[in-house]
Amino acid sequence: MTALTSFRAPFVVFLGDIQSAMFAKTAFGLAQWRGEDCLGQVRLPGCTVDVGVAELDLPAAIAAGAGSVVIGSAAVGGGVAASWVPFLCQAAERGLDIVAGLHIRLESLPGLKAAAERGGARLVDLRVPPTNLPVGTGRKRSGRRVLTVGTDCACGKKYTALRLAEDLRAAGVDADFRATGQTGIMIAGSGIPIDAVVADFLTGAAETLSPDAHADHWDVVEGQGGLFHPGYLQVTVGLLVGTQPDAFVVCHDPRRQHVGGWPDFPLPSLQQVIDRTVAIGSLTNPAIRCVGISLNTSAMDASERQGHLARCAAETGLPCIDPLVEGTGPIIQRMLQEFPV
């Protein structure tokens, strides 16, 4: 039931006029994991976020051969600022497909549908779940599953899952990355946007995402939200109960003190996340256990990074890594020891 989702490459990422990198997860993710297809970024005046790719305007993007403009930024609620619409209309009228993973539909933006029709461009909405999703059954499925969970949103769940799947395959293990968010779907080409699913069907969608498999197969499921997040915990619960993970990896950004955008909610400890994940996940998989910690240390120097990794490992007794620095090997070793075929 996971629909294959494709759009014309190469593409440019559009950042609008945002001023927080936390709202540019899609742009950063595409630049990191589909860099060969990403020609550059387009920013409006006032934008202070830089993805680290070539700076382009619309004529330069067209001259470089861009087939699509991907909206690479999204604020809370997943809308589009009015200041972005004129550029999107110009791009569509010039024949570039407009791609978005937002909660709104692109054709609802003033003038965009007509501009796309004039330019022969497509409006590609990726945050659309499959139809006829089932209610969850809780039935145990064959195969193995590992889920990334987080102390917060935007703390490395997608990157950790992508690298974990990549490293598992490199180690000769049969593994698939299962995308659950718009950026993961853009990278993988398939998946289910779990936060767009009606609540009654969340666990059923998660079951559909990760079906029966061979005993030695691992599905690596991209996590969403956070169990201690006052706004987005529901998607985490749906994934946790529906995917029935054997193993999970806790992802954390050590620089944060509180839930991003919710300053009245301090971040939980790693142990609190482990305990709550086990408590909820054991409903459908009593054998669930944590196999490692993944830290986002991108803003740290080597000494600070090593200190955080060592402290988290000592605190939890689990392998602790930054997946983009040293890979996920220690976690994979733990997984295969804990769950031998």
Give the tens place of pLDDT for each residue, 282-323.
999 999 999 999 999 988 998 999 999 999 999 999 999 999
Burial of 317 (0-12, 13-18, 19+ CB in 10 A): exposed
Answer yes or no: is pLDDT of 341 > 80: no
* Per-residue pLDDT reduced to its tens digit, 151-200: 999 899 999 999 999 999 999 999 999 999 999 999 999 999 999 999 99
Cα distance between residue 23 and residue 143, in whole Å: 35
Confidence of residue 202 (pLDDT cuts 50, 70, 90): very high
Helix locations, the chain, DSSP H? 25-33, 58-63, 85-93, 112-119, 157-170, 182-188, 202-209, 233-243, 270-281, 302-316, 329-338
Nearest C-alpha neighbor of 71 from the set 120, 135, 27: 27
Closest to 69 in 3D by CA, of 105, 43, 49: 43
Q: Which domains does the chain have, with CATH numbers?
A: 3-125 (3.40.50.720), 144-338 (3.40.50.300)
C-alpha span between 208 and 239 (Å, rounded): 11
Q: What does the mean pLDDT of the chain come to?
A: 94
The percent of residues above 90 in pLDDT, for the chain, comes to: 90
First to last CA, the chain: 28
- String of DSSP letters for 2-49: PEE----SSEEEEEET---GGG-HHHHHHHHHSTTTEEEEEE-TT---
Nearby residues of 93 by Cβ (< 8 Å), 6 or more positions away: 115, 116, 118, 119, 121
For tokens 């909405």, name the residue.
125
DSSP symbols for 266-280? EPPPHHHHHHHHHHH
Q: Is the pLDDT of residue 77 over 60?
A: no
Supply the pLDDT for residue 151. Answer: 97
pLDDT in tens, 251-279: 999 999 999 889 999 999 999 999 999 99
Report how far residue 161's alpha carbon sits from residue 89's, in angstroms, rounded to the nearest whole number: 35
Count the Cβ atoms, other than its own, within 10 Å of residue 77: 9
Contacts within 8 Å (CB) and 24+ apart, 111-116: 111/85, 112/85, 112/88, 115/88, 115/89, 115/90, 116/92
With cut-offs at 50, 70 and 90, classify the pLDDT of residue 74: confident
pLDDT for the residue numbered 175: 98
Give the model's confidence band at 78: pLDDT under 50 very low, under 70 low, under 90 confident, else very high. Answer: low
45-49, 73-77, 79-83: which range is least confident on average?
A: 73-77
Which 3-state string (H, E, C) describes 178-205?
ECCCHHHHHHHCEECCHHHCCHHHHHHH
Between 1 and 35, residue with greater pLDDT: 35
With cut-offs at 50, 70 and 90, classify the pLDDT of residue 95. Answer: very high
Cα–Cα nearest to 239, from 209, 212, 192, 203: 203
Burial per residue of 211-235, b for 16 or more beta-carbon CB atoms within 10 angstroms, e otherwise: eebeeebbbbbbbbbbbbbeebbbb
Q: pLDDT tens digits, residue range 313-336? A: 999 999 999 999 999 999 999 999
| pLDDT grade for 5, boundaries at 50, 70 and 90 | low
The yes-or-no verdict on residue 135 having pLDDT over 60 is: yes
- pLDDT grade for 23, boundaries at 50, 70 and 90: confident
Strand partners, 8: none
Tokens linked to 191: 């998946």
Q: How far apart are the C-alpha atoms of 202 and 233, rounded to whole Å?
A: 12
75 band by pLDDT with thresholds 50, 70 and 90: low
pLDDT for residue 96 is more than 60: yes
Read off the pTM. 0.92
